[in-house]
Chains A and B, each alone.
Chain A
Amino acid sequence: MSELAQYAILFGLTVGVLGLVLSLHALARVIGQSRAEPAKDVPAAAGSLSRDPVWVRYHAKYYGYALLFLAFDMEMAFMYPWAVVYREEGLVALLDMGVFLAILFLGLLYGWSQGALRRQ
């Protein structure tokens, strides 16, 4: 199967999911409709509207992890091609990536020592 055909199948699956969801909604509609009643549409918060607006700026207390995550996520982009050719390249590949990972790991340790790895 050609690459293009495979991705066409994946696209087809996505469209199929849309079809499935639409038919489920249609089925639910056939079974019965909801009645419009006052206060039925209040979001779950002990029956009253929440006092404060919900869509506000949120203090992401894990931002230290999030910054480190960016570095590690970039590193993974290099790891995948490296992993595939690893056995061909042998010891050189181990040392190359070893140095890279060691530097990255030192970065993690440094972040840890500076308190990046806690809720703040």
Chain B
Amino acid sequence: MSIVLVLLALAIGCYLVAVFEGWAVHGRFSLMRPAISALALLGREQILPRTPDRLFFETGPILLLVAGLLSVAVIPLAPGLIITDLAIGALFLNAALAYVLVALIMAGWGPNGAYAMVGGWRFLGQFIAYAMLIVMPITAVAMRAESLSTTQIVLSQAALWNVVYQPIGFVLFVIAALGVAWLPPIDLPTGGGDLAGGVEAEYTGARLAVWRLARLVIVVALSGATVTFYFGGWLGPWLPGWAWTALKTVAVAAAMLTLGRHLPRLREERYLAVSWKLGISLALANIFLVGVIALLVPI
């Protein structure tokens, strides 16, 4: 039962994120647009590039969707309202998100097109930049909660949300999350201006529909993870738990979508340099600070 409810919530969340993204990109708020675009995608021609690596080409979008869905599976909406409450939930989230890289490389390699391949390799560089900044803040969160279970992590924030407890980790995690979901200003693999769609360039029809859906699922998963790790998940007054999670998730997703629209796109080289020189130093400092605070203060 809870599985069906979570999947339903995910579907609604994806739709809302699609509406917001349309709003952020086109500047017009339309509740119908995502449905129309989805139908239009299904109605379009499905073209297979000339000499593709068929296996990689077909697997890319599917793997991306699997990665997104599996990471949603460990995010709690409310106590008991979670698909699988794994004891290693936070680690599982990482493991699932690692497949985003594999899916993008597959989609880049598959069609045997120059732009797609450049996008794929670029994402590999982007992965090396963001990967550490996803896992290190999560470690600091787990240190406070004394558990990797996402439910325990939410419960550990009853006294004080992690966004206040470890703000450095929060900022790093959100920036890295933009990288995972290739949202602007870190949308290197699809790079609107210079790559003609990049890894998405050769996908049409139903394959592109699956790809876009998978990307929406990943955005929802990442904002859900941000809420779980830093905004106290379902904790909040007056409203029922699931409503708080939903509200916070939508708010974080909307913030992530709007934030990057006002910044120039980062080059891969700059992104790598900033994340390794500044980001990793800050992430290690964050782990140390949280370690000291966790020993001194009982909350």
Contacts and interface: CB of A to CB of B under 8 A. Distances in A.
Q: Do A and B come from one complex?
A: yes
Interface of A: 1, 3, 6-7, 9-10, 13-14, 17-18, 20-21, 24-25, 27-28, 31-32, 34-35, 40-45, 49-50, 52, 54-55, 58, 60-62, 65-66, 68-69, 72-73, 76, 79-80, 83-88, 90-91, 93-94, 97-98, 101, 105, 108, 112, 117-119
A86 B276 CA distance: 26
A45 B139 contact: no
Contacts of B146: 84-88
A68 B276 contact: yes
A6 to B, nearest CB: 4
Interface string B143-170: 1001110000000000000000000000
B115 A13 contact: no
18 contacts: A9-B3, A9-B84, A13-B83, A14-B69, A17-B69, A21-B62, A32-B43, A49-B50, A52-B114, A55-B112, A62-B272, A65-B272, A69-B132, A83-B142, A83-B143, A83-B148, A101-B284, A117-B273
Contacts of B209: 24, 28
Interface residues of B, number: 69
Given A6-B84, A24-B210, A65-B272, 20 more contacts: A6-B85, A21-B65, A24-B206, A28-B209, A34-B205, A42-B49, A43-B50, A62-B125, A62-B269, A65-B129, A68-B276, A72-B132, A79-B136, A86-B143, A93-B291, A94-B292, A105-B281, A105-B284, A108-B276, A117-B276
